[in-house]
Chain A
Amino acid sequence: MKTWKLAAGLLLSVALPSAACATDLEVTHWWTSGGEAAAVAELAKAFDASGDHWVDGAIAGGGDTARPVMIARITGGDPMGATQFNHGQQALELVQAGLMLDLTDVAEAQKWREVVNPISLLDGCTIDGKVYCAPMNIHSPEWLWINNKIYEDLGIPVPQNWTEFVASAPQVEAAGKIPLALGRQAWQSNLAFNAIAVGIGGLDLWKKVNVDKDMDAAAGPEMLKVFQASADARKLASKSTVQDWNQATNMVITGEAAGQIMGDWAQGEFAVAGKVAGKDYTCLPGLGLNAYLSTGGDAFYFPKLTDPDQEAAQKRLAALLVSPEVQVAFNLKKGSLPIRGDIDMSAANDCMKKGLEILKSGNVVPAGDQVWSPDVQTQLGDMQSEFWSGDMTPEDAQARYVEILKSGL
């Protein structure tokens, strides 16, 4: 009897607020590191405050682990309310198969086309003129993160670009530290390579290879330089044996390693550890050589559901995610850049401000996920992972690189 009353009470407490049409939406994502989880908590708070209920469906292990689970649930007839994907081709076939909710009316009502900057992010969500996802944040993977204290202890200036970083590596190594932290997962090797490609190779080369898909440029001497620079970098990272990216970032935070090439999301980890940008650590966008950032990002897709109440809630969530307040709160915690140019980010730290400036000046290139299919990205990851932990020569690696890109033409 008692339990029955309790159950009834609980039921009421859930049922009563739903008079104001509160709906549970399960949201799946792979944001599980400290900084990322803090950012997701902001989203949940905002959605709960608006009267609906955020059911968190975090999947640990990174995007490569999480995406198969999400896709299996959507194609298997057990769709969630909303799910994270990277912009671009990852969810393309799901949209084409009609499994995703069309958000065009939300996008028009909220004037996304006017506020989203750079507009390529909205284009990544648009298929045949219809909008299928809500852009959430901008990823820029081309950052070098450096622990200042290591260099202060050594009595040498903190490197201001990749060349100086490589030049100082022998001294770092002599002090018993690992010069470069690198997590041993395929996507991280691929990320490091692409960052070096933008930094060393420059914008023109990057665009020629990845946007114009010029295979002669990919096989050319300029690209070989990028592979040689990567081979240098791999020597610096040879003693780094961790797997996850945040473990590698932690090596930089604790002073075990001097630097890491990682996306802007690494900043969330520094923030959680209580480190101050500019004082405890230095961040160099485009590896300090070319201040260009590629702008991929995360977006939320909304699988089609049968319940009209839930569909309305999905559209409310989509509008909320792009709203200025949520954009500010989320991106400050995550350390990523917001997708709208019209909001006040004065609370941002030094690193984010550097990123915002680059964004404003328009020095942006599209990200790998936007220009290549997951099939090509996976093959590149496998190849890079072998290159970064083996002894493949730069020439061999380049030959295979070209082969793989050709399979995606």
Chain B
Amino acid sequence: MAGKPRGLRLFRNLNAKVAAVPMVLTTLVVFVGGTLWTVLYSFTNSKLLPRWQFVGLDQYKRLWSNDLWNAAIWNLAFYGVMSLIFTITMGFVLAVLLDQKIRFEDTFRTIMLYPFALSFIVTGLVWQWILNPEMGIQEVVRRMGFEGFTFDPLHNPNTVLYGLLIAGLWQGTGFTMCLMLAGLRGIDEDIWKAARVDGIPKWKTYLFVVIPMMRPVFITTLVIVAAGIIKLYDLVVAQTSGGPGNASQVPAMYVYRYMFTAQNLGQGFAASTMMLLSVLIVLIPWAYLEFGGKKHG
């Protein structure tokens, strides 16, 4: 009894399953296989070409005693926390504003979402030019008569991360806004009616009723934004190429530099394994919350 339906289940929807085989194989071989291979070789002293010479945790020891890597981690942590706070709050506030049944909502939504259609490379270059003191904001303001005005975040090691943040927020907030807007639209109209009958002010309804109801939307947004932050690379390359000095280095740049420029694959693999670990730290609790909880509920 138990065996027969299971056998049948395997052959149910056979076409769809056959069609999925190439994708499944790709995932297994390219993604999972490649990942395992990288993790394995991060324990070797491979230089330009991979070679199987086990050195234990040496690459990791070197990685964590390397100032550049530690600086990159701190830069990413700072950028990540700021970026999470601002994209989510700004995205939510914008979504709430759009949700007030305003006129031309479609137009505003399109304008806000447009930057998301641009790649990080384009975003980075555009903002590099806008923030360039000789042709960007500083020059425009100076031409308006404010001679002493200085605004040059990208060439100062203390402010360069804010320069990146501006570009990152400009690109990503629209997308968060749309996710949030979808979440807001999913809230039942009756909730609003009930709140109005009880005489609860609008801001209180948002804060104590709507936001808790939007928990799944917030968690999804959090995961998407966080995963995007960890792989931050192209924006930095286009906007500052890690400079000035190493003030805007990020882990992904370190991985590239050591794998290819320094011809030290082992070191690059160790760094990318650490990045994988941090992605897993974000993903596993999310997967547990999203899928694990529902079985019981």
Q: Which residue of A lies closest to B264 (CB)?
A: A375
Provided the pairs A184-B244, A389-B157 are in contact, do residues A378 and B258 lie with their beta carbons within 8 angstroms? yes
Asked whether any CB of chain A lies closer than 8 Å to the CB of B231, the reply is no
Is A382 a contact of B246 with CB atoms below 8 Å?
Answer: yes
A243 contact set on B, CB distance < 8 A: 241, 243
Is A71 a contact of B246 with CB atoms below 8 Å?
Answer: no
Asked whether any CB of chain A lies closer than 8 Å to the CB of B15, the reply is no
Provided the pairs A184-B243, A389-B245 are in contact, do residues A68 and B261 lie with their beta carbons within 8 angstroms? yes
Asked whether any CB of chain B lies closer than 8 Å to the CB of A126, the reply is no
Asked whether any CB of chain A lies closer than 8 Å to the CB of B260, the reply is yes
Interface size class of A (residues with CB under 8 A): 20 to 34
B157 contact set on A, CB distance < 8 A: 389-390
Q: Which residue of B lies closest to A403 (CB)?
A: B65
Asked whether any CB of chain A lies closer than 8 Å to the CB of B47, the reply is yes
Q: Which residue of A lies closest to B46 (CB)?
A: A93
Q: Which residue of A lies closest to B263 (CB)?
A: A374
Is A93 a contact of B260 with CB atoms below 8 Å?
Answer: no
Provided the pairs A93-B48, A382-B246, A389-B243 are in contact, do residues A400 and B263 lie with their beta carbons within 8 angstroms? no
Quick one: which of B210-263 are within 8 Å of A by CB? 241, 243-247, 257-258, 260-263
Is A386 a contact of B261 with CB atoms below 8 Å?
Answer: no
Asked whether any CB of chain A lies closer than 8 Å to the CB of B62, the reply is yes
Is B257 a contact of A378 with CB atoms below 8 Å?
Answer: yes
Quick one: which of A39-80 are within 8 Å of B by CB? 64, 67-68, 71-72, 75
Q: Which residue of A lies closest to B246 (CB)?
A: A386
Is B245 a contact of A385 with CB atoms below 8 Å?
Answer: yes
A72 contact set on B, CB distance < 8 A: 260
Asked whether any CB of chain A lies closer than 8 Å to the CB of B77, the reply is no
Quick one: which of B34-80 are within 8 Å of A by CB? 47-49, 62, 66-68, 71
Is A375 a contact of B243 with CB atoms below 8 Å?
Answer: no
Asked whether any CB of chain B lies closer than 8 Å to the CB of A6, the reply is no
B246 contact set on A, CB distance < 8 A: 382, 385-386
Asked whether any CB of chain A lies closer than 8 Å to the CB of B155, the reply is yes
Quick one: which of B142-182 are within 8 Å of A by CB? 155, 157
Is A379 a contact of B49 with CB atoms below 8 Å?
Answer: no
Quick one: which of A333-377 are within 8 Å of B by CB? 373-375, 377
Is B261 a contact of A378 with CB atoms below 8 Å?
Answer: yes
Asked whether any CB of chain B lies closer than 8 Å to the CB of A97, the reply is yes
Q: How far is the CA of A248 from the CA of B258 in the complex (A)?
A: 27
Is B245 a contact of A390 with CB atoms below 8 Å?
Answer: yes
Q: How far is the CA of A165 from the CA of B148 in the complex (A)?
A: 31
Is A90 a contact of B263 with CB atoms below 8 Å?
Answer: yes
Instruction: With both chains docked as a complex, state the minimum distance between the C-beta of A227 and any C-beta of chain B, in angstroms.
Output: 16
Instruction: With both chains docked as a complex, state the minimum distance between the C-beta of B294 and any C-beta of chain A, in angstroms.
Output: 44
Is B243 a contact of A374 with CB atoms below 8 Å?
Answer: no
Quick one: which of A70-128 are within 8 Å of B by CB? 71-72, 75, 90, 92-94, 97
Interface SS majority for chain A: helix
A184 contact set on B, CB distance < 8 A: 243-244
Is A375 a contact of B262 with CB atoms below 8 Å?
Answer: yes
Interface SS majority for chain B: loop
Is B260 a contact of A71 with CB atoms below 8 Å?
Answer: yes
Question: Which of A75, A375, A386, A388 is B47 in contact with, Cβ under 8 Å?
Answer: A375
Question: Which of A90, A373, A382 is B68 in contact with, Cβ under 8 Å?
Answer: A382
B260 contact set on A, CB distance < 8 A: 67-68, 71-72
Q: How far is the CA of A75 from the CA of B49 in the complex (A)?
A: 8
Q: Which residue of B lies closest to A75 (CB)?
A: B49
Q: How far is the CA of A241 from the CA of B135 in the complex (A)?
A: 14
Q: Which residue of A lies closest to B257 (CB)?
A: A378
Is A67 a contact of B48 with CB atoms below 8 Å?
Answer: no
Q: How far is the CA of A388 from the CA of B243 in the complex (A)?
A: 11
Q: How far is the CA of A90 from the CA of B68 in the complex (A)?
A: 22
Asked whether any CB of chain B lies closer than 8 Å to the CB of A407, the reply is yes
B264 contact set on A, CB distance < 8 A: 374-375, 378
Is B47 a contact of A378 with CB atoms below 8 Å?
Answer: no
A92 contact set on B, CB distance < 8 A: 48
Q: Which residue of B lies closest to A184 (CB)?
A: B243
A400 contact set on B, CB distance < 8 A: 67
- Per-residue interface assignment for chain A, residues 160 to 199, with 1 indicating a CB less than 8 Å from any chain B CB and 0 otherwise: 0000000000000000000000001100000000000000
Is B245 a contact of A373 with CB atoms below 8 Å?
Answer: no
Is B49 a contact of A375 with CB atoms below 8 Å?
Answer: no
Is A93 a contact of B241 with CB atoms below 8 Å?
Answer: no
Quick one: which of B103-131 are within 8 Å of A by CB? none
B241 contact set on A, CB distance < 8 A: 185, 243
Q: How far is the CA of A380 from the CA of B247 in the complex (A)?
A: 16
Q: How far is the CA of A23 from the CA of B247 in the complex (A)?
A: 48
Is B245 a contact of A379 with CB atoms below 8 Å?
Answer: no
A387 contact set on B, CB distance < 8 A: 245
Q: How far is the CA of A58 from the CA of B148 in the complex (A)?
A: 43
Is B245 a contact of A93 with CB atoms below 8 Å?
Answer: no
Is B245 a contact of A94 with CB atoms below 8 Å?
Answer: no
**Besides the contacts A71-B48, A90-B263, A407-B62, what 17 more A-B pairs have beta carbons closer than 8 Å?**
A93-B48, A93-B49, A93-B263, A185-B241, A241-B244, A243-B243, A373-B263, A375-B264, A378-B257, A378-B262, A379-B262, A385-B243, A386-B245, A389-B243, A390-B157, A390-B245, A400-B67
- Between A and B, 24 residue pairs with Cβ closer than 8 Å are A67-B260, A67-B261, A68-B260, A71-B260, A71-B263, A75-B49, A92-B48, A93-B49, A185-B241, A241-B244, A374-B261, A375-B47, A375-B264, A378-B258, A378-B261, A378-B264, A379-B68, A382-B246, A383-B68, A388-B245, A389-B157, A389-B243, A389-B244, A389-B247
For the complex of A and B, list the 7 residue pairs with the smallest distance between their C-beta atoms, beginning with the closest.
A68-B260, A378-B262, A389-B245, A93-B48, A389-B244, A386-B245, A374-B263
